[in-house]
Amino acid sequence: MNFAFDDETEDMREAVERFARRELGGAPPRDGVPDREEFRRRWQLAGKQGLVGSVVPERYGGSGLDAVAAAAVMEAFGYGCPDTGFAFSVAAHLFAALVPVVEFGTEEQKRRWLPALCSGERIAAHAITEPEAGSDTLGLRTRAVRDGDHYVLEGVKAFTTNAPVADVFVVQAATAPGGGFFGLTAFVVEAGTPGLTVGPPYEKVGLRGSPTADVRLDGCVVPATAVLGAEGAGAGVFAGSMKWERTCLFAAYLGAMRRVLESTVAYAGRREQFGVPIGDFQAVSHRVVDMTLAVESARLVLYKAAWQLARGREDQVAPALAKLAVSEAAVRVGLDAVQLHGALGVLGGEAETLLRDALPARIFSGTNEIQRNNVARALGLGGSRRGAGRR
């Protein structure tokens, strides 16, 4: 067992932390909707740094990182960038949209889409969630009907990360309604395709630096060459991307938690009550220790999942546990940081920002309840419940 990164990965971590602090500093937008031009400017900077294409093979413009190195880079990104929403958008682009193209795309699709998506010139979004189908991904109502050498897409997608700024969409639709695992198909659809429209950006409680909106498909015609993988392979495409997302995306939260933990320790050391620093009180110091334990425990679980993913191990439990451990730890650390900052904790600052950004983490990438279902089923429990753990 070796808990240290190799020299190359450590150098990348340090470079990303410096870059994020220097170029991506500043709090997330307070009104919940990031400025489009500023978002693009920061995105292009992240592209030049290699962040938006880190796991894509070098021949397509990426850096070719494995899952461990990618998680290390995302952790450094989350630590250096105070806008966790922006880091979340980068991770969603990379792990939910680019990874499916890398793993399932044809050579023509890879050469057409990946270079610009890796450079920061273009942005990708993964459209799967619907108003009536969140965790029940096999119950999608969006339809794709074959018409000669084209497909016609009809439906509405909700909560689509990056939708307001996306140039490319990976869209999941049912080609065989009621067909179960083999009833879904993934498509690569360019923004501006007639019939594809994006709604206004959401104003969210957390992850405000990540632009999110609905996507409507109204007679959207795409060529058969837009199919990702093969017809009926959509569920497999989605499952593959979720292994990466539930592992590497959540590494950004590790960095954010470490940043807030450090600032909370510093605050406890200088804030005085009754003539002594509040860190001298056992109730405070023990809470800080518990925060540290939560962060370190979650970190170990996540990097174990990344280690297995880097070695090609087909394990659905490790990513589910990583997602559970990190998201639950982020909420707890956020709550504790707010408590230790007292009245200042409910004003604008790192503590309350982490808490707001952590709340969605228990929902996206499959709710934590679904992750528990998945793990329970892997342990031989709950398998008799119809539809349990579909996502």
Rounded to the nearest 10 degrees, the angle between the axes of helix 67-80 and helix 84-91 is: 160
Q: What is the DSSP letter of 322?
A: H
Percent share of the chain, pLDDT over 70: 97
How is residue 169 written in tokens? Answer: 């969409």
CATH of domain 7-123: 1.10.540.10
Distance, CA of 88 to CA of 74 (rounded, Å): 9
Name the pLDDT band for 348 (thresholds 50, 70, 90).
confident
For the chain, the structural domain boundaries read 7-123, 126-232, 237-378
Per the listing, tokens 């360019």 go with 190
Report the amino acid identity of residue 134: G
Residue 83 has pLDDT above 60, yes or no: yes
Judge whether 245 counts as a catalytic residue. yes
What is the homologous superfamily of the domain 126-232 according to CATH? Butyryl-CoA Dehydrogenase, subunit A, domain 2 (2.40.110.10)
pLDDT of residue 133: 77
pLDDT of residue 382: 77
Q: What is the mean pLDDT of the chain?
A: 94
Distance, CA of 264 to CA of 32 (rounded, Å): 25
Catalytic residue among 17, 75, 130, 245: 245
pLDDT of residue 76: 98
Average pLDDT over residues 257-271: 97
Angle in degrees, CA 68, 358, 266, rounded to 5: 85
pLDDT of residue 25: 80
The pLDDT tens digits for 187-230 are 999 999 999 999 999 999 999 999 999 999 999 999 999 999 99
pLDDT of residue 383: 64
Percent share of the chain, pLDDT over 90: 88
pLDDT of residue 373: 93
Q: Which CATH architecture has domain 237-378?
A: Up-down Bundle (1.20)
